[in-house]
A and B are shown apart, each in its own frame.
Chain A
């Protein structure tokens, strides 16, 4: 690629093949793979296949999604042009963050890492190539960039600084080869808070934010995180507000690209970038009260909402599920063990809320670790099976709303201000489970899918790696009766906390 780029550079002096070609302003993205020759030496065919696959599955579609055009690929690199600097930078960030995800499953020496440089310039665009100083500068910027990073020129920076929420670190003016004037260089930090950050921060949640759908910076935080773990481990140690005594293990885990996944029914459900399981606690913990449910088949879904279709038969295995949503007391035991991200305030018997899916997973992982049992989040199918309690009606108690049957908005005499109250304040369903509908929204293991087309029929979690949003069940005290139905489903960003979101846990038997 370096050679190839020089080919383009050398075209600078040569006149473009067709002088009739119009000049135009474009954002030029130049990327290449770090240590390509080393990788080729290591495994020529394998590397070639992987690079081609990355180009096919990641580079090309990402450029297209951001309304750019892939001008050429050059063995280990590519050049693309964009009308919009914003789209160009987003594209660069998306590529980098996706590469982080791809690399985590590989041993370090086999990592494929791109450097990306982006410049705004007046160029001549041919069908198969692009010419001009602007291209050369983009490739020079790329040459300056560290592996996994995106460097942009001052021209790009001026265009995007108020449009993409990223941190930008000015690297000052750099003199680059064969370009007369020095070039102002900025390093893109997808997470604006990352730059110069010293305060403690829940980095773990950011880890999971890797997602194809996230625009630029949202997921880019992850990219920055992984990039940081390579060279800046102390920065990580604040991840879960760890005490100094725990630092070594956290550091170790943070430094590993792949953390050992907590026990899960479906291997696919475990994102590789999950927050590291906490170190084992010395003392035993009180386990939440669980109810064992026999396995069985049921009709999942309903025709009441487009997201609940089609109704399909699902068979779940025998499992146990929490009798109540996880309480503040239970959550705070995890927080005290420094395994959960924050200490909650409020009535000990109230359900824990304001937790993200990643927070809930951390709790389940901690509980599994400390008890040695396979605690986890329930799958979406398990949740609905449990919520229905063997019934097939709209609500578990029948077709009509019953006052006081569930803690939802306008379905109870209790004032909104006093909700959610304690767990188990309303009637138990036929399985003896409380708050399966209303009180707090409850995270389940599954990634969000907008309906059940293609859903598994075996009760397992329907999940892909690092999905941007997960499924919420139950509805909360701030939702009306429609949300209390056992078949109701909703989604929310994986790493974002919201005051009505809680969870209950399940146990594989």
Chain B
């Protein structure tokens, strides 16, 4: 299990302080979101189980408003910055795990892909500060 060292990546491209407008719930400072698998730079053949690690917070269902808990979102090849004022997008690049999943079978076309986890609150907003994993790169053979 490789645990990435970075826990909180503040959204770099938001020049305004996120807290001023963000609608998300507050997150503890020591929350740590990381990939249990795959690790950064992994070369993978075919489909794989992506496993999500979270410390300092709990995983719950979307819609359940418990303090310090949220649900996972997996961002695949997403380059746009996270908008703290909007619910985390829902499309083919933003996979939602609102049923409380902590792992998912992921199938990607061959080539390089980036993966990043973002924790969303009951209403799918990013937390404040955002709880995101390091963005990792994997190569699919």
Contacts and interface: CB of A to CB of B under 8 A. Distances in A.
B30 interface: no
B77 interface: no
Contact of A483 (B91, B96, B123): B91
Interface residues of A, number: 32
Contacts of B103: 215
Given A493-B99, A496-B98, A499-B124, A218 B90 contact: no
Contacts of A494: 99
B66 A209 contact: no
B17 to A, nearest CB: 21
Contacts of A215: 100-103
B82 interface: no
Nearest to B92: A490
B58 A219 contact: no
Q: Is the interface of A mostly helix, strand, loop or mixed?
A: loop
B99 A165 contact: no
A305 B66 CA distance: 38
B87 A496 contact: no
Contacts of B102: 215
B69 interface: yes
Interface string B39-74: 000000000000000010011111110100100000
Contacts of A193: 64, 66
Contacts of B98: 492-493, 496, 498
B89 interface: yes
Given A218-B100, A479-B91, A497 B62 contact: yes
Interface string A208-230: 01010011011101000000000
Nearest to B55: A162
A490 B91 CA distance: 7
A193 B63 CA distance: 12
Interface in A417-469: 441, 450, 468
A121 to B, nearest CB: 24
B99 A219 contact: yes
Interface string B89-118: 111100011111111000101000000000
A498 B66 contact: no
Given A165-B60, A165-B69, A193-B64, A214 B101 contact: yes
Contacts of A498: 62, 87, 90, 96, 98, 124
Nearest to A479: B91
A361 interface: no
Interface string A313-343: 0000000000000000000000000000000
26 contacts: A162-B58, A165-B58, A165-B59, A165-B60, A209-B99, A214-B101, A218-B99, A218-B100, A219-B99, A221-B61, A441-B90, A468-B99, A476-B90, A478-B89, A479-B91, A483-B91, A492-B96, A493-B99, A495-B61, A495-B99, A496-B96, A496-B98, A497-B63, A498-B87, A498-B90, A499-B124
Interface of B: 55, 58-64, 66, 69, 86-87, 89-92, 96-103, 107, 109, 123-124
Given A215-B102, A218-B61, A493-B98, 16 more contacts: A192-B66, A193-B66, A215-B101, A215-B103, A218-B99, A306-B109, A441-B90, A478-B90, A490-B91, A492-B96, A493-B62, A493-B96, A493-B99, A497-B63, A498-B87, A499-B123
